[in-house]
Structure 1
Amino acid sequence: MLSSQRKQLILEILAREKQVLSRELSQRFAISEDSIRRDLRELAAEGLLQRVHGGALTVSAAIAPFQVRKSVQIPSKKIIAQKAITLIQPGYIVIVDGGTTSEELIKLLPKDLAFTVVTHSPTIAVGLIDFPLVDVIVIGGQLYKHSVVTTGAAMIESIRRINADLFFMGVTGVHKRAGFTTGHYEEACVKKALSERAAETVVMASPEKINSASAFAIGDLNMASTLLIDGSLDEDMSRLLESMQITVL
């Protein structure tokens, strides 16, 4: 079998099973694990999968540039944003992550809802200017332009001063093995730190993020209390989240 044919079959298996293991592929194709690892490296270099220890996972489609992502899954993001708003109570302190789903969230906020937003996204902060009852606290740092959020070690001291009710967290991947992931190391660290300062972490995930993974881990699935989605989950994921007592809306 040609290498190109084998790699196509690997992608088909990955699409069907959501993960592949090097050892199992080696046995299936009767070739060495070194050859399989080379195939996986080449597919990863093309952006077609995410390599992990022992194999590979489906790569997240949510790592495209910000302007591209703004036009992806807009109806789903609006549905998820509307669900998120129902969780906000008057007087709450709410950490709002950056990202395109968060942008949809603030567009749908009722004008008469009084609460406090803490954000490290300049876009989110500016989007709340016309909401007179919403107090806005902006956490500064170095601007990460891909996601239009601030990052960096200097933010951690500010984050430690926050005791929030909710954290609406954006991710690029939700996977039963890899957990919650994103495409940038420092952004993953900031998300983790923000989650630790909220009573509840609510993850907003449009369909392209489910059963996929990016390079940097934010944390295990059990760091979230609630997962907001549009559509349904497969049986394995539903059972896992239920066992962790994670609410799925």
Structure 2
Amino acid sequence: MLTPQRKQRILEQLARDGQVLSKDLSARFAVSEDTIRRDLRELASAGRLQRVHGGALPSSSAIATFAERTALKTDAKKTIARTGAELISAGQVVMIDGGTTTSELIKCLPNELDITVVTHSPSIALGMIDHPTIEVILIGGRLYKHSIVTVGAAAIEGIGHIHADIFFMGVTGIHPEAGLTTGNYEEACIKRAFSARAAETVVLVSPEKINAASAFVIGSLGLINTIVVDSGTDDNWLRSIEEKGVSVVRAE
């Protein structure tokens, strides 16, 4: 089998099974594991998958630019955001991560809702500037332009002085074994810092993030309490998430 054909078969198996293992691919194609690792390395360089220890996972399309991500799975994001907004109660301190799904979340907050929102996203803060009863605390730091959020030591310092009721975490990938991932090292640090200061952490999981992975690990699924997913999400995948102790809320 020629290399391009083998690579295509690898991608087909990855799409079908949600992960591939180098050892199994070596046996399937009767080639060395070094050859398989080279295939995976080249596919990763082309953005077709994310290499992990022992194999590969689907790469997340959620690491594209903010403008490009805004166009991804828009209907599902809106439905998930509406359901996520229902988890917020009056009087709470709510941490909201940057991202396209959380941008939809703030549009769903009722006008009469009286809460305090803490965010490191200037766009999230600006999105609530006309909301009559929401107090907004904007965490400062160095602006990471790709995601339009602040990062760095100043942001970590600001987050460390807050006790929140709930944190809506943005991720680019969620996988039962690989856990929660994102596309930037500093963003991963900020997300862990937010989660550590919240009584409950929720992830709004749009379809392109499911079973996908990016280069930087935020943490295992033990870091979060709840995920909100589209009603059409695969039941087997959801069971694998629930087995990790995470509650699942289906958006209708």
Quickly name the TM-score band, shorter chain normalised. Answer: over 0.9
Post-superposition CA distance 1:80-120 (Å, at most 9, x none): 11111111111000000000111111112111000000000
Whole-angstrom distance in 1 between the partners of 2:55 and 2:235: 22
- Asked if structure 1 preserves the Cα contact closer than 8 Å seen for 2:168 and 2:201, the reply is yes
Q: SS in structure 1 opposite 2:190?
A: helix
Q: Which residue in 1 is equivalent to 2:37?
A: 37
- Asked if structure 2 preserves the Cα contact closer than 8 Å seen for 1:20 and 1:56, the reply is yes
- Asked if structure 2 preserves the Cα contact closer than 8 Å seen for 1:125 and 1:136, the reply is yes
- Asked if structure 2 preserves the Cα contact closer than 8 Å seen for 1:207 and 1:231, the reply is no
Whole-angstrom distance in 2 between the partners of 1:219 and 1:55: 19
Whole-angstrom distance in 1 between the partners of 2:114 and 2:34: 58
Whole-angstrom distance in 2 between the partners of 1:241 and 1:130: 37
Q: Using the TM superposition, give the Cα deviation of residue 241 of structure 1 relative to its aligned residue in structure 2, in angstroms.
A: 2.5
- Asked if structure 1 preserves the Cα contact closer than 8 Å seen for 2:176 and 2:244, the reply is no
Paired amino acid for 1:158: G
Whole-angstrom distance in 1 between the partners of 2:144 and 2:66: 11
Whole-angstrom distance in 1 between the partners of 2:116 and 2:219: 26
- Asked if structure 2 preserves the Cα contact closer than 8 Å seen for 1:60 and 1:172, the reply is yes
- Cα-Cα RMSD: 1.0
Q: Using the TM superposition, give the Cα deviation of residue 246 of structure 1 relative to its aligned residue in structure 2, in angstroms.
A: 1.6
Q: SS in structure 1 opposite 2:61?
A: coil
Q: SS in structure 1 opposite 2:161?
A: coil
Q: TM-score, normalised by structure 1?
A: 0.97
Q: Using the TM superposition, give the Cα deviation of residue 156 of structure 1 relative to its aligned residue in structure 2, in angstroms.
A: 1.5
Whole-angstrom distance in 2 between the partners of 1:128 and 1:153: 25
- Asked if structure 2 preserves the Cα contact closer than 8 Å seen for 1:20 and 1:55, the reply is yes
1:19 aligns to 2:5 (yes or no): no
Q: Using the TM superposition, give the Cα deviation of residue 235 of structure 1 relative to its aligned residue in structure 2, in angstroms.
A: 4.3
Structure 1: which 4+ aligned runs deviate by more than 4 Å?
none
1:159 aligns to 2:178 (yes or no): no
Structure 2 portions without partners, runs of 5+: none
Structure 1 portions without partners, runs of 5+: none
Q: Which residue in 1 is equivalent to 2:5?
A: 5
Paired amino acid for 1:57: L
Aligned length: 249
Q: Which residue in 2 is equivalent to 1:126?
A: 126
Whole-angstrom distance in 2 between the partners of 1:87 and 1:20: 36
Whole-angstrom distance in 1 between the partners of 2:47 and 2:183: 12
Whole-angstrom distance in 2 between the partners of 1:91 and 1:232: 33
Q: Using the TM superposition, give the Cα deviation of residue 131 of structure 1 relative to its aligned residue in structure 2, in angstroms.
A: 0.6
Q: TM-score, normalised by structure 2?
A: 0.96
Whole-angstrom distance in 2 between the partners of 1:153 and 1:94: 21
Q: Which residue in 2 is equivalent to 1:209?
A: 209
Paired amino acid for 2:112: D
Q: Which residue in 1 is equivalent to 2:89?
A: 89
Q: Where do residues 58-77 of structure 1 align in structure 2 (5 Å cutoff)?
A: 58-77=58-77
Report % sequence identity: 60
Q: Using the TM superposition, give the Cα deviation of residue 49 of structure 1 relative to its aligned residue in structure 2, in angstroms.
A: 0.3
Post-superposition CA distance 1:43-71 (Å, at most 9, x none): 00100000011110011111111111111
- Asked if structure 1 preserves the Cα contact closer than 8 Å seen for 2:207 and 2:233, the reply is no
Q: SS in structure 1 opposite 2:200?
A: strand
- Asked if structure 1 preserves the Cα contact closer than 8 Å seen for 2:180 and 2:217, the reply is yes
Paired amino acid for 1:59: S
